[in-house]
Structure 1
Amino acid sequence: MEGLKLSNAELMIYIHPSKSRNVYQAIGRELSGLLFQYNETFDGVLLAYDADVKSKQAKILSGLNPYFGVRVEANLLLFDPKPNSLVEGEIVKISPESIHVVVLGFSAAVITDVDIREEFKYKMRDGEGCFVSRSHKGHTLKIGTTLRLQVQSFDEEVMHIAGSLLPENTGCVKWLEKKNTEQALHMDRDHKRRKIA
């Protein structure tokens, strides 16, 4: 999935003197407070971190509250989907006008009817709405399906993605992988036939 990136960072974490007995726990709390929020410094949403104290020496800051700074080296997993990148999520709601998806368990994505390619037609099956491909009957989008969509925009404040199903490489992930496997097998057979001939 695109939109995920690993980043190495050297950070200065400022800790209150009352937390000096357990510095590692204080660092963990400071970094945990940044999780699942867009951070301009990191240029993405922090999903996970692995921090290591770089130096045993701390720098005391003068002022009203004498905080001390600890240098930390951290590996960060960030989520920052750019326009035209592909992300995957689970469909949670379908209506004739839109498909609602949850990406990575925390970010909402919506695909409106103008961004769903004409190949898909809305139908009711077993009392639930779904989109079925007119050209490939096995390609069905329903609640619980893992969907690959193209990012049109990402609102950092509310973690909302506006998505699109217009490109051919979007849709049900299982169906797309099966299609790619079949195409690879078909190409391999053609290559072997040419070799034999």
Structure 2
Amino acid sequence: MDGLKVSKANLTVYLHPSKSRDVSEAIFRELSSLLFTFSEALDGVVLAYDINSLDNKNAKILSGVIPYFGVPLSVDLLLFSPKPHMLLEGKVVKLSQESIHVVVLGFSSAIITEKDIREEFVYKTKHEQDVYASKSHKRHVIKVGTMIRFSVKSFDEEILHIYGSLMPDHTGSIHWLEKHSDLISHTDRNAKKRESEGELTTLKQDAIDGKLSPLDTAQKIKKSKKQKIQEES
């Protein structure tokens, strides 16, 4: 799944003098306070941490009314940082004609509205259960409890809410997608081939209409054909 990354960071944790008796415990508490919150400095939601080194001896006291002291440490952080067009996976917890509600990694909620569900899927009631069923593939069904793969449209960092999409062909029920990965790849290749052929037709028509010079036409058609050969190979 996209959106997960491990980041190595050198941090300085500032502690109150009253915590000097048990610095390690105080640092663990400070790091734990970062969990499942979005950090602008780290550009992600902290899911876990692992301290590599902790240097008590080089702790520095800060000047001020209350002399806090800073402890430098090296830490590995597991971050969740979803960006537009990334593919995420989650479990469907609610489904209606207007939207599909999903939980990602057990803590972040996501919603996919009707306008972001491709026409292939049709909402209906099957065996007294609401589902989104594919018109192209009878066994491709999304219902409550289904693990799905979807594309990210946007991410609300304050409430950790994701707005998703099922428009790409390679999104939907993970169970079905994994069983039919060859079919999805073939569909993607055909789509790219049609797009390439469409661009070539447009170039030729533009040349006929006088919108392109003969040199531009030859160069662009040559480039389009080269891309087509690379895709087919």
Contact 1:53–1:70 (CA under 8 A) maintained in structure 2: no
Q: What TM-score comes out, normalization by structure 2 length?
A: 0.76
- Partners of 2:22 and 2:128 lie apart in 1 by 56
* One-letter code aligned to 2:29: R
- Partners of 1:56 and 1:38 lie apart in 2 by 28
Q: Which aligned pairs between 1:12-161 and structure 2 lie closer than 5 A? A: 12-57=12-57, 58-161=59-162
CA RMSD of aligned residues (A): 1.4
Structure 2, unaligned runs of 5 or more: 186-233
Q: In the superposition, relative to structure 1, how do residues 51 and 108 fare at CA in structure 2: closer, same or farther (>3 Å)?
A: same
SS of 1:175's equivalent in the other structure is helix
Give deviations 1:104-142, integer Å, cap 9, x for gaps: 111111101111011101111232211011111110000
- Partners of 2:22 and 2:89 lie apart in 1 by 39
- Partners of 1:126 and 1:175 lie apart in 2 by 20
Q: What TM-score comes out, normalization by structure 1 length?
A: 0.90
Moved over 6 A (4+): 181-184
Q: Which has the larger radius of gyration?
A: 2
User: Quick check: which one's helix share is greater?
Assistant: 2
* One-letter code aligned to 1:108: S
Contact 2:34–2:46 (CA under 8 A) maintained in structure 1: yes
- Partners of 2:41 and 2:81 lie apart in 1 by 12
Aligned twin of 1:166: 167
Task: Tell me which of the two structures has the higher relative contact order, counting C-alpha pairs closer than 8 angstroms and 6 or more residues apart.
Answer: 1
Contact 2:177–2:184 (CA under 8 A) maintained in structure 1: no
